[in-house]
Structures are given as structure tokens and as C-alpha cells.
Amino acid sequence: MVPNKFDLKSYLKERAQKIEKTLERYFPSEKNYAKRVISAGKYSVFAGGKRIRPILCLAGCEVVGGEWEKILLFAAGIECIHTYSLIHDDLPCMDDDDFRRGKPSCHKAFDEATAILAGDGLQALAFYFFTHPELVKNIKKTRLLKAIHFISKVIGFEGMVGGQMVDLLMEGKKGSLKVIKWIHLNKTTKLIEASVVSGALLGGGTFKELKALSFYGKNLGYAFQIIDDLLDILGDEKELGKKTFSDIKKQKLTYPKLIGIEKTKELAKKYTEKAILALTSFKEKGIPLKSIAEFLLNRVY
Amino acid sequence: MVPNKFDLKSYLKERAQKIEKTLERYFPSEKNYAKRVISAGKYSVFAGGKRIRPILCLAGCEVVGGEWEKILLFAAGIECIHTYSLIHDDLPCMDDDDFRRGKPSCHKAFDEATAILAGDGLQALAFYFFTHPELVKNIKKTRLLKAIHFISKVIGFEGMVGGQMVDLLMEGKKGSLKVIKWIHLNKTTKLIEASVVSGALLGGGTFKELKALSFYGKNLGYAFQIIDDLLDILGDEKELGKKTFSDIKKQKLTYPKLIGIEKTKELAKKYTEKAILALTSFKEKGIPLKSIAEFLLNRVY
């Protein structure tokens, strides 16, 4: 059910709060010798963040008629994966970023070893959530296993990990539009697409619905990373919670570098429009996903 | 079926070969931009190794009457997890080990960023294997989800990751027997226990069988790590494929340090005996697991 006047702000707030409550409730307790690494994981998970990926997962469930409250643990697991990837990406030997979500990066607040382990622990925790009895009891097991399989593929060698590798390898190098699109696809787009599609899979979506949402997610994911590249140049450090011009300093391969700011803006708009077009068949029920796409296009953080 | 004259050597060889063939068959192809990180993952996975954890998984399946060939993908996933943990443990900010399995460690053969990403990719690949359609079709889904849940718990904050954290934190510090047992339990024992128990879970084991195997696995795991500590002092670098006296250099908390070599040897023997005792109810079918425990006690690598 989508209310006549859709209020995106309270929609996002409600979902983010529920996701955070789920994370709090199921996060391992800091009451043992390993307190330090659990604290580091918590530090990064609860440092704020838009919670866009888990929100997309819940929205994917709802748009196909599923009950989103029933898959909160799955959505929370996706946020653990996203946070682990940020912690590892920020490491000195990777992107070497000292700030994240307005606070010192995990390896700055703790140390490198703790940050690597916190990331590792968060990846494991994601799959612990994905297979938690409290989730399993709500979902058809065949669909759940398919969703986990999909996520594990898009975050691995043939997805996020591969994308981050090539992102690093292309620093300071000349790259083509083909390469940058490949990096964006793997580093960012695939997990965003998988977030919404896995939600729909768990919510009982049909093949046709999953296909439409895959198209939505892919285009949204491209738009998202392109806007990320733009914000590195046009954004405000305070709003972003991280340093601007960091891509330029690191000589990262970005769209603004290849085609200029104006053309990059047009491209983000084009991808967003394509994403929204994919929602046509959902009619009114597609309003939240449409609003999210518009919000991400115009975001300042 | 256990042959009258049990030949452990060919048993281990056959299983290890099948596990390696499975890894080869399902490992992502190196034919894309992310070749480097896939090569790094392959480099470490195919650097040799005893394949003890996946072999225990297969043996756990077989001892309860399951067909071990049907769960090869699950066993292969366990080896991916073990290899990822070695890659990350060897990093300069962790144990700083330059050699592993007789070859330069992953970060030496490649670089730190690639090694971190290769480890991350291997962890994701494990869960990709655990939920692979070729495995799912062979196994009761409820049992498969339980097994994945178990593994994801023992490798996370409340298991392997937590154990490695405390192992690092205790370097150069005075520690009690209670602390070192906690480290061994989390760093090593839990995954070894989970390997054999998950195999039995997938093979259709009863609650009573799982309980006996949990007891076997836990005691075997303790013995395993204690022998590891001993080999750091008594072992041969060539046989081990890594530097000896590295625990002493790093002022690691070990049993030999706390109670001396002789008492440590006795302890390993005691744990092995307890492990074997847990197999009583399996009668003849328990011979492979018994032989593995004896082999690990007397191993030189």
C-alpha cells in the first residue's frame, strides 16, 4: 500500500530506523575478549549512512507484495556487507581515506589489523543474518538460498571485490569509457541491483517482476556511482562526511575526468530516467522506488 | 563403508584431489579486468595445504551415512574460508608472515591491497559455493541453511575473527591458560568442529550423532592448534612450508611458552584421545575420523 501523498522523508526514516534496530538487536555482544573487534565493527556500522541498499531491499520486497518487516534481517545483512566494503576500501593500502561518514575511518579510530578483522567479521555476520532462524521461518527456503547465492556472487571476485581491484589498478592510468563502466558495474551497481532484486525474490516476486527490478537496480546503480563521482568535486565535505577532491588526488578514473562535469550530470539523469521507466508496470506501487531514484539523483551526500 | 584395512594415505589423497578438482571447476575465470585478484585467490588456494577442514567435512558426512561426493562444494567452500583467513593473517599488520605453504605469502607474491581483496573474495566465494544450485539440489534445504548459519557464526566476531584479534592483542603480554584456551577455541577449534559437524548435518546425521561429532571436532581442534604451536618450535621449515620460531619472535602466547614442551605434548595427546573416545558409538565407521586424529597428532607439517 502506497499512501496517496507519498512522504519520502518519513518513509526513509522509518526504514532506516527499523534496519538500525535490527542491527542493534542481532549484533554480537561486546562482552568477551574480542570486544575490540566487535566495537570496531559496531563503530562503522553505527556511524550513520543513508542505509540505501537495505532500504532498496525492503522496497523490492514491498513492491512485489511482500511484507518488508519479515526480511529486516536480510536487509541488515546487506548493510553489514556495504560497511565491510567501506572499511576495507578506506585502508591505507587501498583508497587511504581517513574520514568516513563524518568520523575517522575504522583504521584511524582503531588500527589497520582491527579494521581488516572488523570488515572480515562484518562479511561473516551478513551471512549469519541471511541464514538466521528468525528470517528462515518467514521465507521460502528455495528463494532464500537463491537470494544468498545472488548476493555472494555480486560481492565477490566477479563483482564488488573485482571492481575495487580494477578501481585501484586504474589509478593514474588512462582508461576508456568501457573500463570505467565496468568498474562502476562491479564496484557499485551489482550490489545495488542485487539489493532490490533479492528483496523482491524474498517477497515472492514473479520472474517478470524480478526482471523489471533488475533493470531498475542496474540503472539506479550506475546513476548512484556517477553521482558519487560528481559529489567528490561538487559536494560539501560536511554534508558528505568525507574529503572532497579525493578522486582527483588519487588520479582515479571517473566520468567527470573523462567527459566533463556537464556531460556526467546528463548521464546520471539519463540512467535515473531509465531506472524509473522500468517501474511502469508496478503503477502506483512503484512510487517509493521512483522517489528513491529521484532523491539519489538530487542528493548532496 | 570402511574397508577392513584402512589406508589413510590414499583416503586423504583421494579426498584432497576431489576437493581440488571442485575448487578448480567452480573457481571464477581469470578472463576479465579483475584477473589480478582472481589470480591471487587461486595462487593461495592452490598453494597446497593438507585440506584437513574440507576432508573432515566430507568424513563427517560419511560417518553418518551420507554421500560425501554430494557435498564437495560445501567442503570446497570451507577450504576457501580457511585460505582467506591465512591470507589475512599473514598480512604485515597482522602476523607479518612472508611464507606460507612453501611459497611467498599472497601479499608478497602480489601486494597488500590485492591480498586483502583476494581474502575478501574467497570469503564471498565460500558462501557462493554453499548456496550453489549444484549443491542445493542434493541437500535438504533446512539442513543446508543450518550448516551455513553454523559456519558463518564460527568464522565471525564470535569465532575465528575474534580469536585472531585476541591472538594479536596478546602478543608480548602475559596471559593465562584460560586466555590461550579461549584464543585456540575461537581462532582454530570452532571452524574445525564446524567442518565435521556441518558435514554430518548435510549427510543427515541425528542429534546424537551431531553431538558426538561436535565433541570429536572440539577436542581435535584443540589438539590441532596445540600441535601447531609445537611445530613452530620442533618442526622443520621445509616440511612446514613456513618459518619456524615465528611465534617466539612475535612473543605470541602459546602453550609451550606457558607450560613447556613436554606438558604441551601430553596435552595434545590428551585432547586427541578424548576426540577418539567420542567416536565409540560409530564403531567401524569411525575409523577414518580416528585415523585422521592420530595422523594430525603425529604430523610434521
Q: Evaluate whether residue A3 is within a structural domain.
A: no
User: What is the value of ipTM here, to two decimals?
Assistant: 0.96
Q: Evaluate whether residue B1 is within a structural domain.
A: no
Q: Evaluate whether residue B231 is within a structural domain.
A: yes
Mean pLDDT of chain A: 95
Other beta carbons within 10 angstroms of residue B48's beta carbon come to 14
pLDDT 10s digits, B102-140: 899 999 999 999 999 999 999 999 999 999 999 999 999
Subunit contact A38:B157, Cβ cutoff 8 A: yes
CB neighbour list of residue B24: distance below 8 Å, 6 or more residues apart: B46
Domain of residue B55 covers: 8-297
Q: Min CA distance, A9 vs chain B (Å)? A: 34
Give the cell for residue A19. 534496519
Subunit contact B155:A124, Cβ cutoff 8 A: yes
Closest residue in A to B119 (Cα–Cα): A120
The arithmetic mean of pLDDT across residues A182-204, rounded, is 98
pLDDT for A1 equals 52
The arithmetic mean of pLDDT across residues A276-291, rounded, is 97
Closest residue in B to A42 (Cα–Cα): B157
Domain with residue B286: its CATH number is 1.10.600.10
Subunit contact B145:A164, Cβ cutoff 8 A: no
Q: Which of B38, B124, B182 sits opposite A152 (nearest CB)?
A: B124
Q: Min CA distance, A56 vs chain B (Å)? A: 21
Q: Which of B36, B141, B156 sits opposite A124 (nearest CB)?
A: B156
pLDDT for B76 equals 98
Subunit contact A168:B113, Cβ cutoff 8 A: yes
Subunit contact A33:B162, Cβ cutoff 8 A: yes
Which chain B residues have a beta carbon less than 8 Å from that of A169?
Answer: 33, 36
Measured at the alpha carbon of residue B160, what is the angle toward residues B157 and B161, in degrees to the nearest 5? 45
Pairwise CA distance, residues B125 & B145, whole Å: 16
Closest residue in A to B167 (Cα–Cα): A34
The arithmetic mean of pLDDT across residues A239-268, rounded, is 90
Measured at the alpha carbon of residue B81, what is the angle toward residues B79 and B82, in degrees to the nearest 5? 65
pLDDT 10s digits, A48-76: 889 999 999 999 999 999 999 999 999 99
pLDDT 10s digits, A119-153: 999 999 999 999 999 999 999 999 999 999 999 99
Computed on alpha carbons and rounded to an integer, the radius of gyration of chain A in Å comes to: 18
Nearest to B203 by CA among B153, B288, B135: B135
Mean pLDDT of chain B: 95
pLDDT for B187 equals 97
Highest mean pLDDT: which of A206-210, B243-247, B256-260?
Answer: A206-210
The helix-helix angle for A160-169 and A177-184 (nearest 10°) equals 140
Q: Evaluate whether residue A1 is within a structural domain.
A: no
pLDDT for B244 equals 85
Q: For B113-174, give the DSSP string.
A: HHHHHHHHHHHHHHHHHHT-HHHHTTS-HHHHHHHHHHHHHHTSTTTHHHHHHHHHHTTTS-
The arithmetic mean of pLDDT across residues A266-293, rounded, is 97
Backbone φ and ψ for A104, nearest 5 degrees, come out as -55, 140
- Element of type H or E holding A100: strand A99-100
Subunit contact B132:A149, Cβ cutoff 8 A: yes
Does residue B51 surpass a pLDDT of 60? yes
The arithmetic mean of pLDDT across residues A238-258, rounded, is 87
CB pairs under 8 A between A and B: 175
Does residue A253 surpass a pLDDT of 60? yes
For a pLDDT cut of 90, what percent of chain A falls above it? 87
Subunit contact A132:B149, Cβ cutoff 8 A: yes
Q: Evaluate whether residue A252 is within a structural domain.
A: yes
pLDDT for A237 equals 84
Does residue B29 surpass a pLDDT of 60? yes
Chain-centroid distance of CA B70 in Å reads: 20
The arithmetic mean of pLDDT across residues A253-268, rounded, is 93
Does residue B89 surpass a pLDDT of 90? yes
Number of domains into which chain B is organized: 1
Subunit contact B157:A37, Cβ cutoff 8 A: yes
Pairwise CA distance, residues B95 & A110, whole Å: 17
Q: Evaluate whether residue A257 is within a structural domain.
A: yes
Length of chain A: 301
The arithmetic mean of pLDDT across residues A27-46, rounded, is 95
pLDDT-derived band at B3 (thresholds 50, 70, 90) equals low
